[in-house]
Amino acid sequence: MKILVTGGAGFIGSHLVDRLLEIGHEVVVVDNLTTGYRHNLNPCAKFYEAPLLDPGLGEIFQREKPDIVSHHAAQNDVRRSNTDPIFDAQHNIIGSIRLIQHCIKYGVKKVIYASSGGTVYGEPTYLPVDEAHPIAPISPYGISKHTVEHYLFLASANADLNYTVLRYANIYGPRQHSRGGSGVIAIFADSMLKGEPPTIFGDGSSTRDYLFISDAVEANLLALSGGDREIYHVSNGEQINLEELFCRLKGIIGSITGREGIFEMSPVYAEPRLGEIHRIALSPEKIQRDLGWLPQIPLQEGLEQTVPYCRSLSTVFPTSVREGA
Ligand SMILES: NC(=O)c1ccc[n+]([C@@H]2O[C@H](COP(=O)([O-])OP(=O)(O)OC[C@H]3O[C@@H](n4cnc5c(N)ncnc54)[C@H](O)[C@@H]3O)[C@@H](O)[C@H]2O)c1
């Protein structure tokens, strides 16, 4: 199949592109390289450097005629969405509506949409959260990620466009960038590798569920041929608090780098940030039942694969490249 991946130069999108090519699909990437990197791009994918709102997007669809669109492009900085909700809405809502319009016009069969389980529900009223939990986002980012789900539902009802919504947990792994306030594992590892204590917003007791990138990619592969017109959590459902995450990283970084001093490091604590919830864990029961998806990589193993990448980045790329300049 020919699959167009928006955001295919980013963290999740680029891993997905690699895997799609590996199993024999033809891949087209549309990415404006705002938070994605050229070095993430698989040379076997056809690349268009363009924003979703590019007037030429229709021509790309006309030329490429993709069977499936995997929609991963987004402004995904919660803090930026608070300070500039219009920017967030333009990229995440208007950009996605334009994309969906092109999908309808050019006969795309299905859209697989990367939504956010950590932000669409707001502060959960029960745990683990299932897909039927009330929606009450507390950030413009959460609102924009959820709004697109409605447009997909509408496009499915009115124009017969098939879709699967994947509401991700906190995905982590190699290629995740450490700027913009998202990607706490990359942020913590980056600063600890520099010998600087990371900042924990709040008292360290807030919890998240973390899923390794290869498991998220496998859920995307299953959605190519299943999960039609459904919403799924992509998560292992396990809550870990920030204090524990910090301690695990300390152990791994200490053993990899041999830096004794790391074991004495304590985090810096700061006020909790606007738009962030205290606890979350997404139930993966539905995707396990319907698609047979099962996460394979436990947190410790995933962290052990991620830290060496963060370490290599600090030596391979100068700061300006890592910051996306
Ligand atoms: N990483 C996570 O834990 C997580 C959790 C929930 C949801 N998501 C969603 O998954 C998707 C991918 O996230 P990621 O972590 O890989 O982030 P990322 O920043 O690494 O990737 C996003 C990519 O989209 C591109 N992009 C951004 N705005 C664009 C636009 N308007 N037009 C074209 N390209 C644009 C960026 O250059 C980047 O390559 C996003 O939609 C995000 O909301 C991620």
pLDDT (0 to 100) of residue 181: 65
Helix axes 95-105, 57-64, angle to 10 degrees: 30
Q: What pLDDT score does 313 carry? A: 81
Which residues have C-beta within 8 Å of that of residue 24, sequence separation ≥ 6?
Answer: none
Q: Are strands 162-168 and 230-234 parallel, antiparallel or unpaired?
A: parallel
CA of 74 to the centre of ligand 1 (A): 4
State the distance from the centre of ligand 1 to the C-alpha of 24, rounded, in angstroms. 24
**Quick one: which atom of ligand 1 is closest to the CA of 95?**
31
Q: Tokens 């268009």 sit at which residue?
A: 48
284 lines ligand 1 (CB under 6 A): no
Is the CB–ligand 1 distance for residue 31 below 6 Å? yes
Give phi and psi for 21, each to the nearest 5. -65, -40
Both tokens assigned to 209: 């569920």
Q: Is the model's pLDDT at 319 over the cut of 70?
A: no
pLDDT at 262: 87
List the residue whose alpha carbon is closest to atom 18 of ligand 1. 10
Measure the CA–CA gap between 154 and 161, rounded to whole angstroms.
9
**78-130 tens-digit pLDDT:** 999 999 999 999 999 999 999 999 999 999 999 999 999 999 999 999 999 99
Alpha-carbon span 52 to 77, nearest angstrom:
17
Q: Are 77 and 276 in contact (CB under 8 A)?
A: no
Please spell the DSSP secondary structure of 14-54, one letter per residue: HHHHHHHHHTT-EEEEEE--SS--GGGS-TTSEEEE--TT-
What digits encode the pLDDT tens for the residues 172-226? 999 999 876 679 999 999 999 999 999 999 999 999 999 999 999 999 999 999 9
pLDDT (0 to 100) of residue 310: 94
Tell me if 173 CB under 6 Å of ligand 1.
no
Could you please state the CATH topology (level 3) that the domain comprising 2-171+212-236+283-296 is classified under. Rossmann fold (3.40.50)
- Per-residue pLDDT band for 258 (boundaries 50, 70, 90) equals confident
pLDDT at 317 over 70: no
What average pLDDT does the segment 154-171 reach?
Answer: 98
Does ligand 1 lie within 6 Å of residue 10's CB atom?
yes
CA 201 – CA 309 distance, rounded (Å)? 25
Q: Name the residue with higher pLDDT: 204 or 260.
A: 204
Ligand 1 center from residue 170 Cα (angstroms): 12
Question: Of 15-24, 191-200, 312-321, which has the strongest mean pLDDT?
Answer: 15-24
Any atom of ligand 1 within 6 Å of the Cβ of 168: yes
Ligand 1 atom 23 nearest Cα: 7
Quick one: pLDDT at residue 318?
40
DSSP assigned state of 175:
T
In ligand 1, the atom with minimum distance to the C-alpha of 180 is 19
Instruction: Give me the pLDDT at residue 315, please.
Output: 57
pLDDT at 320 over 50: no
CB-based contact 286:130 (threshold 8 Å) = yes
- Which of 49, 72, 323 to mutate for ligand 1's pocket (most ligand atoms within 8 Å of CB)? 72
d(CA 38, CA 54): 19
What residue segments make up the domains of the chain, in order of their start? 2-171+212-236+283-296
**Which residues are tagged catalytic?**
141
267/243 Cα distance (integer angstroms): 8
> pTM for the whole thing?
0.96
Ligand 1 pocket check for 11: Cβ under 6 Å: yes
Q: What is the pLDDT of residues 143-162, one digit of tens each?
A: 999 999 999 999 999 999 99
137 and 72 Cβ atoms separated by less than 8 Å: no
Distance CA 95, CA 69 (A): 14
How many Cβ atoms are within 10 Å of 325's Cβ, its own excluded? 7
Mean pLDDT for 272-284 is: 94
Cα 34 to middle of ligand 1, angstroms: 9
Nearest residue to 210 (alpha-carbon basis) of 184, 228, 178, 188: 184
| Residue 164 confidence (pLDDT) above 80 | yes
For 20-78, write each residue's pLDDT tens digit: 999 999 999 999 999 999 999 999 999 999 999 999 999 999 999 999 999 999 999 99
Residues 6+ apart with CB under 8 A from 46: 27, 28, 29, 64
235 lines ligand 1 (CB under 6 A): no
User: Identity (one letter) of the amino acid at 116?
Assistant: S
What is the distance between the alpha carbons of residues 149 and 113, in angstroms, rounded to a whole number?
Answer: 8
